[in-house]
Amino acid sequence: MTGGPACSSARPLRILPMGGVFASHTPAALKCVLGSCLAVCLFDPEARVGGMGHFMLPTRLDQDGDRRSHYYGVYVMDLLINEMMKLGAQRDRLQAHAFGASRMLSLCEQATASAMQNAAFITSYLKAEKIPLLSSDLGGDQLRTVYFSTDTGHALVKRQDRGMLAEILGREQQYEEELLRMLGDRSDNVTLF
């Protein structure tokens, strides 16, 4: 979305899985593939510290268990900001890019609701934290591949055709099953997409 190359041979490529968080003060290129999940890239232009968080849902839907799961946006964002601050970033200088929240199954109301919740969560979270959202590509019904450069803050988004849909849905199903195991199979308390 923003100008400049996100990847080059000078930057090692790191693929960020769902639930992943990575921050660096040295050049690195981060990549993730998004369906209905969301990726947030943060950058401190003065400290030249950048990072990315990749999550599935905004927050845990049941209130009984541990809310710090790495699949949830609230935890991922807090972890990402803390990791960046350890590397010299300052909260008041952070800038953001946000991508994802696609409606992968346009006929499924739950998938549409989850994607809309992700988009609403990140815009609300960034506003509450006073982190400017420089660019975003949220919603729609396409897969996205995101590249982010930790030392420049540049992000590139490539919209993918739906040929990768089966692979992405398979990954999301795998994470859904893992989430349900973590919650003790309390599927009535979790809405996944």
Q: What is the pLDDT of residue 189?
A: 39
In a domain, 153, yes or no: yes
Q: Domain count for the chain, please give it.
A: 1
Q: What is the pLDDT of residue 188?
A: 42
Residue 130's domain comprises 13-187
In a domain, 5, yes or no: no
Residue 96's alpha-carbon distances to 62, 100, 153, in angstroms, are 28, 14, 9
Q: Cβ(38)–Cβ(98) under 8 Å?
A: yes
Cα separation, 177 vs 171, whole angstroms:
10
pLDDT per position as a tens digit, 67-80: 446 668 888 999 99
Cα separation, 35 vs 181, whole angstroms:
22
- Looking at per-residue pLDDT, the higher value among 66 and 49 belongs to 49
In a domain, 78, yes or no: yes
Q: What is the pLDDT of residue 115?
A: 75
Sign of CA dihedral 186, 19, 15, 99: positive
In a domain, 3, yes or no: no
Q: Confidence class of residue 13 from pLDDT cuts 50, 70 and 90?
A: very high
CATH of the domain at 22: 3.30.1330.200
In a domain, 8, yes or no: no
In a domain, 82, yes or no: yes
Give the DSSP H or E segment for 126. helix 109-128
Cα separation, 181 vs 69, whole angstroms:
13
CB atoms within 10 A of CB 180: 15
Q: Cβ(144)–Cβ(157) under 8 Å?
A: yes
pLDDT per position as a tens digit, 136-186: 999 888 889 999 999 999 999 998 766 655 665 566 566 555 654 554 444
Q: Residue 141 carries which side chain, given as an amino acid letter?
A: D
Structure tokens at 104: 């992968």
In a domain, 7, yes or no: no
Which residues contact residue 28 at a Cβ distance below 8 angstroms, ignoring those fewer than 6 apart?
A: 11, 12, 13, 14, 22, 149, 150, 151
pLDDT per position as a tens digit, 84-109: 999 999 999 999 999 998 876 554 55
In a domain, 48, yes or no: yes
Q: Confidence class of residue 3 from pLDDT cuts 50, 70 and 90?
A: very low
